[in-house]
Amino acid sequence: MSNKLAVKWGLIIAILLGAVYLIYPNYKWYSKPLAEREKLDTLGERPKRMLNLGLDLRGGSSLLLELDVSKLQSNEPLHEAMQRAIEIIRNRIDQYGVAETSITKQGDKWIMVQLPGVSNPQRAEELIGKTAMLEFHIVKTDQSIAQAAFSKLEDTANPFDDDGNLAPEIAALVPEGYQIMRSKEGSPVLVDAVAEVTGADLEDARVVMMDENGYPAVTFRFNTEGAQKFGKLTGSNLQKQLAIVLDNTVQSAPVIQSRISREGRITGHFTPEEARSLAIVLKAGALPAPVHVIEKKTIGPTLGEDSIKSGLSASGIALLLILVFMAIYYKAAGFIADIALLLNFVLTVAIMSYFSATLTLPGIAGMILSLAMAIDANVLIIERMREEKRAGRPVYEIINLGYDKAWSAIFDSNITTIIVGACLLQFGTGPVKGFAVTLIIGLLVSLFTAVFVTRAIYELILTSNTKEISL
């Protein structure tokens, strides 16, 4: 064996061992019962580098959100608001502890959120949908300032809408510089219209176990600029009530006893989960505008398991039929092509595991298509070799000319398909991207297995002075 061939086989063996090393955690993880995997996932003991299952295979929930563009600030471009909303939603979900979440932009004002493994999306929906606009207003206890508005309030059954906004005909009666807000209990509260301090200046927010009434509370801390603003606001309004307003609702209105600068606390009849969610959204930041859930779907883990079995069965049958056909029709050359095909599958899964890629049903389809492209490359090579054999050439020329003449066709077909896959990856949505990822990886691997690996096998056979290869 020449040094060049020895280097080739050393590289192939090293790559194969590396692939086995990357694939093993997948086998170890997915061989565990579903209940045990979910428990370990919750505890954060999931392996870092492994193949993740998408929503259609693992089960979970998906939410289609619509950004209320009518509530955007007039000076903020829509595309910037969408990008900011996506980042804030991602931060909230990451802090909530949902792994492998997919958040993608859909059109101009829609956001698709996929939550694998989350069978009850209600809490996540509340977490995502909360605008989390935190404001601090000074309360005006003298209702005579807006007597006409309060009189109208008493005669109106539902003066506030679902978002906490006052009915327009009542808001028109409130003097300039003031605003009537809804308290958490539903009663009206008169405050200064201008919020001197907002949640934009928050540095941190966290849950404390109990307030004086036995309920969880949320403490918050301002950054340097926010601390200066808050200190000025509280210092100049001693013995007045300070309304802590979250999304147009007054959560509490404590009396300012002394100047406060750095830290504060939000109290209310929170459950532990509500307090945790509030701390998360405050820390992640406020959305640029409200978002509304316009579609939600839930896929149970049993359906996901069924999808895995169906996908694996289809892939296994297709792979088996190809292997049998190649071995029968192309004999020894077909068997060599089968080895390359199996290696292609192993390397594709290993690469996806290394990058912690997410496998979906369309992704399985992309993998099958890449295997078909890989076997097609071997067919081109073998047919070229058959032509050279019919021309009566010696075995080493048959192999060399077969690869040389087939290479351009193999390269062109793979590259053009990779370009198409790249376009799908760039402009497609979630399922289409899953298809594109596995397709591109499979095609790149096939250039290695169908050309480099099979040729190394033929060259190894030639070292034994073989005079003929069964084609």
What parts of the chain have a pLDDT lower than 70? Answer: 1, 42-44, 95-100, 119-121, 123-124, 127, 129-132, 210-213, 286, 300-305, 307-308, 430
Q: How many CA atoms lie within 13 A of 200 on its CB side?
A: 8
pLDDT on residue 219:
86
Which of 374, 353, 438 has its CA nearest to residue 18?
Answer: 353
Q: CATH 1.20.1640.10: which residues of the chain?
A: 3-36+300-462
pLDDT on residue 329:
92
Q: Beta partners for 255?
A: 241
pLDDT on residue 263:
84
pLDDT on residue 119:
65
CATH topology of domain 60-130+294-299: Alpha-Beta Plaits (3.30.70)
pLDDT on residue 439:
92
pLDDT on residue 8:
92
Q: CATH 3.30.70.3400: which residues of the chain?
A: 60-130+294-299
In CATH, the number for domain 134-272 is 3.30.1360.200
pLDDT on residue 121:
67
Return mean pLDDT, the chain: 84
Q: What is the pLDDT of residues 291-342, one digit of tens each?
A: 888 888 877 665 556 766 777 787 788 888 889 999 999 989 999 999 999 9
Q: CATH 3.30.1360.200: which residues of the chain?
A: 134-272
Question: Can you tell me the distance from the alpha carbon of 318 to that of 312, in angstroms, rounded to the nearest whole number?
Answer: 10
| Neighbouring residues of 242: CB distance < 8 A, sequence distance ≥ 6 | 136, 137, 138, 139, 233, 234, 253, 254, 255, 256
pLDDT on residue 403:
92
pLDDT on residue 302:
58
CATH superfamily of 3-36+300-462: Multidrug efflux transporter AcrB transmembrane domain (1.20.1640.10)
Kindly list the strands in the beta sheet with 263-266, ordered across the sheet, starting from the edge strand earlier in the chain.
202-208, 217-222, 263-266
